[in-house]
Structure 1
């Protein structure tokens, strides 16, 4: 009988454990009995039949993946019937019998590596039902303690699902258990990547360039998660795994995109170059577009609305923080820039400028009157930074807002979603929309946000597991929206963390291996404004979102020729995943003795990363060409169409620039480039004369003794700038994506350093540059048209002065950006320009 508190208590002597449900107690009692449940394959011994069945299900799952079950059981049964604590050796006859009697499935991809190497791999496959825990599958078995299962049962529920070959089978972290948790230390030290992580990710055993014989196995891990249906396939149908991947020697593989395809794509006129009639053919018009990065699919969609009462709640937060303006006055309730119409404008700017670039807040379920005032304040302030006249006011309020978040009763070691969103948006404003002081303060609290995310379920949440057509759609929609926002919060935080580590040489705080979730859903699903529209959009998806890590691996497995048809934001997250791996490999390269594990030498990984970036770019170019064509074909509001195309072009330019910046950073030390160009502060530290002398030697050695690498870096730098030049007037256009302006600075510094550090055979002259834009255009055309090798042998006619026009135009274009870090970078570039040689007609706009 239950006790007065409603708990069921175990009567076994010396136990005393209690449970909230009677069935949990019944299952627990079996742990005190002399159970006799043994796995016939590996001789693992269990006291309860449900634990044995779960163990067998994991065997079947590993068989389907072509891997080995790495269990950490403490009890085993020998062939004589004795229960021992050390695993007995499996008899050869028994192993052979299991193999011979099993279904010989086609070769499947290798599964992630485990912590042991003495286990027999069985090719047995099965589609029987398996039991999984929604949040942490098989934890009890993993730790080898049957009593641990009781506490889990008391807090979670088990559900039975069919083991599928589609992405739905990957919702749990089960397929990645062995990579993330080969031992207890690794399980609880998520920020630190292990050798097994990278052995699995790079998987050199599958690389044709590393072997003398052809690879007969399937070409990607979990290919059933990443190689999905073509558009003509009915939703939620799957091909057999063995039919999805194409061997490299097949004709189909030879027709896949390659470097030549990229050049052909680059040769095509961009959307702004093509006349509108040239892209509209006799095909049926597409409206609305299936995807429209950087803008809403439906630009007439109703945005969240503020009322006076909600404004008062925001003002209560602001007045309690007592922010002061530069003149010393306190921001008060009657400030004209904080009126209701102004706040509504800021909120609209947030959803039409920030949230379309970084889709973090689910607009359809965002209801201001029920939103926490602090979160609402951070949203309004971030929107205000897009208004030139209100930007400074927003920064002043931002300076005193962070303590209000920490003082809120909801702030804890495991805070609610809104607290994490408020901290992330506050950090985002400080790092990317504020001055140097705000940037430095945001860095100080960045680690706090990462730790809070790790304590939450944001990195492992699986929204797809909740979508069932037979349940209440409205309630499903809201729960799904919260879970999707959690997933996006972790992934967008990862994006910004990677950008500041790779582009700004900060420390990387979050590893790609921590993101054990699926990629974001499609834009139509995310922007559906009613439960019914959401369910309809979900069903119309070609496939459920695949696992992030499974797709990331395909870019580092060079013989994969076909990948999932990914949406825009998924492609961006994957690029940052590759950048994260590159940063971590650089760190390991600096601290290793020349060998990084699994035969991957300290030098070869850079070539592998460069090829992975190239594979990503090929896929991105195809996506950009297809999406751009669809946008031009859309019918309806011409003004809305033009706006969508313009925003999409800025999206393509910004991420093409980021791709080339990532390649550049593989080939050059960007801190040395900045110091050599005259930067006075790096990472908050003043640059000394010794620092400059060292960087000067490094850059000159790089440009002359390692000229091939330097030329490739300069070639990528030229493409960064070329992607951002508007063809109509040769203006450099910078959109709303925060990294874009900094990549332009890095590209300009690289080109200047390359030419300034090399000897010039041309005679320098003092003739002014009469047209800086034309001078820039000629420079970029020369560099992007030539091969990288040509840049080492051919010097532009102007010699070392050849970068003056380019640098002056970049300085003029970036001078308008209200961001402290960009202002500092622009000041460095300004010092590189011989302004006396720049025609006054060009105007410096400084």
Structure 2
């Protein structure tokens, strides 16, 4: 009988045939170093086990005790099933794998791992393992005692069990929506370096990327792109007649009762308003799902019942829907509800971390409402609480897998489980989209980085819209898997087209990935002022050449992304992307805060500005107007206004169901005005009497022509912005959003 090596730790008593196995086992009790998986909550006491675990993520696996399985078609399925002892045939093949993805960055970290890491025997030397239905056992080729590990495979995973290192949260019920950077904090100066790695290699590899010609590059103008293909849809708000259901028999009567009970702290004049009439609530609900849901499909409409859903979530949905109703009184009531709605949610038990998924979704819908449809006070409060919501999402969301009916089938259980996880991923992406979008649109600081979103892109719309488990199961078998967000974004920067099966929402997300990269690299350039780049300290980092020319790289990526706008089918998500696509170019080359200050517009951040602030902003805009970069921003601003206002149909921002399109054309007008103001400052006063006034359309046509030809006459025409500002101002007439009302007033002052 071979000698046994027993663990002497109190309460353990496990036995091993080899001393080195016992030595490795002791690391569970007294770890020397903890290794955190970047893609899931698992932690390890050995680097080689972390690497093995990460390779399983690459194959589409999640983590043990969470029902994760390998993707369909994996030849190694039989040998890898032990990664999830809770695997059953009823589990959907891709239901839980979407919670996290392994990224290229971790692969690079492995390659850079120095020889100074803790030396461990390679895992190939560990005992061979066989797995039966009763769980893992070890065989040594002879009649040896069996070691039982229960639910966890100790020799392979050696996951830290000490509660000091890992919170005792059930993996299947709680997951973080974002990667938590508190585990490993990267070097800020090189944080984006890996995204630009091997760009030249990718471009020069004929087998790695198909040769494409962007619809943005058909005109031979260096550095300036023409408009994308595809006719711009007319921005018309979708209005529906309010439902005429009987208030006595309609389920919306019960919804009304639930709402009044949940919002009982509001004043009586609000609670007794016609806003809460059942037929009005039903109409607001429909308006939301027909106008806003396609922008950010984070809710699963087939399973969302307004009667059984949280009344606070229903309140957020109907108040946002009411912004499209024809009754201005209902719009005012919605604003009064939002004076208290967020704080009522803060007081619910579901808000405590880990928050329930409905709670996080509701807070994000509230933020969308207050940032883009309500008062300036609400806009600023939404900005203040944005960071708190992101922190809450990083703490995790609680799933409700155990709430399904006892008699439900395996397919039904799998469907509901899949819906919850898909909804949580979509919710995380919605938070990321608003974070990236509002950095340029409102001058807010970017809290999230693309590295924080290590998730697969949302599934195809046809799969998300399935209303029955059987339909979902059938579609699941023939729908391609969604690729990972970070790998697709990196390939996009290498000018590789987006996979054709990516949904419209996924393409909107990728556009905001470029927004986020732009915001962070602009901040890096602002902080470092270029100091230290290109010096000896960076000589061994070939990626810095690419990252130092990031503006050209991101601009080319946007050219490739523009193919998303060439679509046979209409999509509100892609229609919303059109103005944002133009603004994404402008975001590279302009600082909208400085232009707001120059124009004397109300501060985007609500802060008081001194005379010194205005002088510095004016100096920066003056320097910007003299650079070639400004011409690129002007070009896309001109196209945005042309594509929105001068399409042959009257455009009215008050009836637009694309939330940020009016704000985008306002920004475009300010950028054009700022350049014209600086050009007038540089012009010869003797030429003042020779100025010719141009209509808005003449201004657009002449400016586009001069920019394409890189003419020296750009500064002469650029000064004549009055008619253009007037046209933009007229399009903003009658908007309810207070920031657009301020924009209307600002344009009036600039015209005078």
User: If the TM-score is normalised by the length of the shorter chain, which range does it land in?
Assistant: 0.7 to 0.9
Change (3 A) 1:716 1:151: closer
Distance in 2 between the 1:130 and 1:731 partners? 68
Q: Give the one of 670, 679, 683 matched to 2:605.
A: 683
CA contact (8 A) 2:488 2:498 kept: no
Distance in 2 between the 1:434 and 1:271 partners? 27
- Which consecutive residues of structure 2, in runs of 5 or more, have no partner in the other structure? 1-5, 29-43, 60-102, 118-122, 132-151, 240-244, 402-407
User: 1:368, CA displacement in angstroms?
Assistant: 1.6
Q: What residue in structure 2 maps to residue 718 of structure 1?
A: 638
SS in 2 for 1:509: coil
Are positions 1:590 and 2:526 aligned together? yes
Change (3 A) 1:387 1:109: closer
CA contact (8 A) 2:457 2:506 kept: yes
Q: What residue in structure 2 maps to residue 377 of structure 1?
A: 315
User: 1:313, CA displacement in angstroms?
Assistant: 0.9
CA contact (8 A) 1:653 1:724 kept: no
Distance in 2 between the 1:141 and 1:689 partners? 67
Are positions 1:516 and 2:454 aligned together? yes
Matches within 5 A, 1:722-733: 722-729=642-649, 731=651
Change (3 A) 1:805 1:153: closer
CA contact (8 A) 2:505 2:573 kept: no
Q: Give the one of 203, 217, 223 matched to 1:260.
A: 217
CA contact (8 A) 2:298 2:427 kept: yes
Are positions 1:436 and 2:407 aligned together? no
Q: Give the one of 300, 304, 313 matched to 1:366.
A: 304
The superposition leaves residues 693-717 of structure 1 with CA deviations (integer Å, 9 ceiling, x where unpaired) of 222222223223x2x1222221121
Q: What residue in structure 2 maps to residue 829 of structure 1?
A: 747
Output the aligned Cα RMSD. 4.8
SS in 2 for 1:685: coil
TM-score between the two structures when normalised by the length of structure 2: 0.72
CA contact (8 A) 2:215 2:227 kept: no
Q: Give the one of 684, 704, 708 matched to 1:784.
A: 704
Q: What residue in structure 1 maps to residue 512 of structure 2?
A: 576
Q: What residue in structure 1 maps to residue 89 of structure 2?
A: none
Are positions 1:330 and 2:330 aligned together? no
CA contact (8 A) 2:354 2:392 kept: yes
CA contact (8 A) 2:45 2:160 kept: no
Distance in 1 between the 2:739 and 2:196 partners? 35
Matches within 5 A, 1:753-792: 753-758=674-679, 759-760=682-683, 763-764=687-688, 775-787=695-707, 790=710, 792=712
Distance in 1 between the 2:116 and 2:499 partners? 31
The superposition leaves residues 622-642 of structure 1 with CA deviations (integer Å, 9 ceiling, x where unpaired) of x332x23xx3xxxxxxxxxxx
Change (3 A) 1:603 1:673: farther
Are positions 1:482 and 2:420 aligned together? yes
- Which consecutive residues of structure 1, in runs of 5 or more, have no partner in the other structure? 1-10, 17-27, 39-43, 67-107, 132-137, 159-171, 209-214, 220-245, 274-292, 297-301, 324-328, 464-469, 632-644, 835-846
After alignment, is 509-518 or 447-456 more displaced? 509-518
SS in 2 for 1:757: helix
User: 1:659, CA displacement in angstroms?
Assistant: 2.2
TM-score between the two structures when normalised by the length of structure 1: 0.65
The superposition leaves residues 712-765 of structure 1 with CA deviations (integer Å, 9 ceiling, x where unpaired) of 221121122123235223646674233222221211111111122114469556
User: 1:46, CA displacement in angstroms?
Assistant: 5.4
Are positions 1:612 and 2:554 aligned together? yes
Q: What residue in structure 2 maps to residue 309 of structure 1?
A: 254
User: 1:341, CA displacement in angstroms?
Assistant: 0.6
Distance in 1 between the 2:449 and 2:669 partners? 30
CA contact (8 A) 2:504 2:573 kept: no
After alignment, is 687-696 or 668-677 more displaced? 687-696
Change (3 A) 1:477 1:757: same
User: 1:519, CA displacement in angstroms?
Assistant: 0.6
User: 1:660, CA displacement in angstroms?
Assistant: 2.4
SS in 2 for 1:356: coil
Change (3 A) 1:406 1:129: farther
Change (3 A) 1:513 1:357: same
SS in 2 for 1:508: coil
The superposition leaves residues 187-230 of structure 1 with CA deviations (integer Å, 9 ceiling, x where unpaired) of 5367x775564232221xx132xxxxxx4xxx4xxxxxxxxxxx
Q: Give the one of 573, 594, 608 matched to 1:672.
A: 594
Change (3 A) 1:595 1:724: farther
User: 1:366, CA displacement in angstroms?
Assistant: 0.4
Q: What residue in structure 2 maps to residue 701 of structure 1?
A: 623
Distance in 2 between the 1:719 and 1:607 partners? 25
User: 1:669, CA displacement in angstroms?
Assistant: 2.1
Q: Give the one of 541, 546, 552 matched to 2:483.
A: 546
Matches within 5 A, 1:144-543: 147-148=161-162, 186-188=181-183, 194=188, 197-203=191-197, 206-208=198-200, 215=201, 219=202, 248-249=205-206, 253-255=210-212, 257=214, 259-260=216-217, 266=227, 270=231, 306-318=251-263, 320-323=264-267, 330-333=269-272, 335-389=273-327, 390-457=330-397, 472-541=410-479, 543=480
Distance in 2 between the 1:556 and 1:690 partners? 39
SS in 1 for 2:270: coil
CA contact (8 A) 1:31 1:48 kept: no
Higher relative contact order (CA 8 A, sep 6+): 2
User: 1:396, CA displacement in angstroms?
Assistant: 0.9
CA contact (8 A) 2:354 2:397 kept: no
Change (3 A) 1:139 1:716: farther
Change (3 A) 1:15 1:780: farther
CA contact (8 A) 1:31 1:146 kept: no
Matches within 5 A, 1:76-91: none
